[in-house]
Structure 1
């Protein structure tokens, strides 16, 4: 009996190891706690691990920036999950730039979109649109703008969602391709804390987009403020669709004009 069990274990080890080595690609997720986003990662991490198992990709989870001291070329995509580029310092920034210039993919989620103007211009252009302000968390209707991009494949045309609705200034990078926008008629863009002013962006209010940048691929989504959102199936499909494209360059079914 013991010999049979040992044989089964050996067979499993022989066949399981190559299977793990044949994962589609590897992804680095930087999820560094910060002042306003320090509890999302305990919910997001197990969901990303489930996505990795479901879609057969390797996952490295980083709670600090030490991963950027090593070889980034092993990763098909790097996710800045509520983690701004300003967390990187010195040579870490140079490594990220070299990684993108070599064709690497980047996914920027929510807080990653906020940078101090002029602090790292290259990363600001990577994001593509400068953060301006956001009103209080509210429920609103999200509209799909580009049905041909993978980050929208699992979403309804109009999607009821509760989040911080970031506002943005003029584009920093040409040919940004918007995939989602929020309908400002479905929430109050002026509902904000005393002493602050938010006016909204009007009829065109982008909240997710993608573009080619400096040799690499970048997918950006402003969605993802509260921890509970990382348990939502639609949101996870949105994230993986953008991640899949950033990692592989595949999945777009029709070209759309930039907007």
Structure 2
């Protein structure tokens, strides 16, 4: 084969396989299925997360099909449930996801994905770490950074003015979590809810983002992210990216300063 032919083949290979130029650091599966309450966010979030994947050199696989859990999950460094809870999976798919976590897989839970019918899949509730009950209406409040050493807080101010559904949670399975973000209940009305429902304050200990170990993997949960426009917000996206980075790699936590 002549030198010119080898050169042409090499150039063609570069155009055919751009990943050869910049290899992805890890592979993330994002499960985002439209439902009654959350669907407008999907095209916005997909565009933002795909741009994030290009910027940070990781591979993103976006799916709305629960059947994706029938495939080989071991190829993913992490799986994100984006406003789509585990109840969307059938028994076989749930078993596959449980096996993935027991083999060292990692999970990230975003907003609506933290809500699942109580008692329907206790394993998933333990993975989330908290049971979500009612939640007040969307309001502007002050989010507080509770763990400055965790990557999902690095770009956030200590007190962050944000508008969202600030979920009220309980801990029926006595799961230990590490709180990343809280919310100052004096900055909004924790009782403002729809007619016929009752919402009560949680008090000083009101986690809205956290992490913990589960089975043999890592889990990061953020209950923020109700409105579609949030997935264009730079600060919120840095919060998500910090969570993705830690969940997929286990890296990025700042060492606690010694005195």
**Kept in 1: contact 2:129–2:171 (CA 8 A):** no
The Cα shift of 1:63 comes to 1.2
Deviations 1:176-227 (Å, cap 9, x if unpaired)?
0000001000001111111111112111110000000011100000000010
Indicate how the Cα distance of structure 1 residues 187 and 12 shifts in structure 2: closer, same or farther if over 3 A, else same: same
CA distance in 1, matches of 2:247, 2:253: 11
Correspondence for 1:166: 167
Indicate how the Cα distance of structure 1 residues 10 and 65 shifts in structure 2: closer, same or farther if over 3 A, else same: same
Correspondence for 1:179: 180
Correspondence for 2:243: 242
Indicate how the Cα distance of structure 1 residues 196 and 17 shifts in structure 2: closer, same or farther if over 3 A, else same: closer
Residues 7-16 or 244-253, more deviating: 7-16
The Cα shift of 1:7 comes to 7.8
Correspondence for 1:142: 143
Is the counterpart of residue 156 in structure 1 residue 187 in structure 2? no
CA distance in 2, matches of 1:191, 1:250: 39
CA distance in 1, matches of 2:138, 2:58: 33
CA distance in 1, matches of 2:214, 2:163: 30
Correspondence for 2:98: 97
CA distance in 2, matches of 1:214, 1:255: 26
Correspondence for 1:207: 208
TM-score by structure 2 length?
A: 0.92
The Cα shift of 1:173 comes to 4.6
Runs (5+) with no aligned partner, structure 1: none
Q: RMSD of the TM alignment (CA)? A: 2.0
SS in 2 for 1:181: strand
CA distance in 2, matches of 1:169, 1:117: 11
**Kept in 1: contact 2:130–2:175 (CA 8 A):** no
Indicate how the Cα distance of structure 1 residues 173 and 51 shifts in structure 2: closer, same or farther if over 3 A, else same: farther
Count residues with an aligned counterpart. Answer: 252
**Kept in 1: contact 2:14–2:21 (CA 8 A):** no
TM-score by structure 1 length?
A: 0.92
The Cα shift of 1:154 comes to 1.1
Residues 195-204 or 73-82, more deviating: 195-204
**Kept in 2: contact 1:125–1:172 (CA 8 A):** yes
Correspondence for 2:20: 18
Indicate how the Cα distance of structure 1 residues 103 and 187 shifts in structure 2: closer, same or farther if over 3 A, else same: same
Indicate how the Cα distance of structure 1 residues 11 and 38 shifts in structure 2: closer, same or farther if over 3 A, else same: closer
The Cα shift of 1:64 comes to 1.7
**Kept in 2: contact 1:150–1:251 (CA 8 A):** yes
Correspondence for 2:117: 116
Correspondence for 1:54: 55
CA distance in 2, matches of 1:180, 1:19: 37
Correspondence for 1:82: 83
Correspondence for 2:221: 220
Correspondence for 1:190: 191
**Kept in 2: contact 1:80–1:109 (CA 8 A):** yes
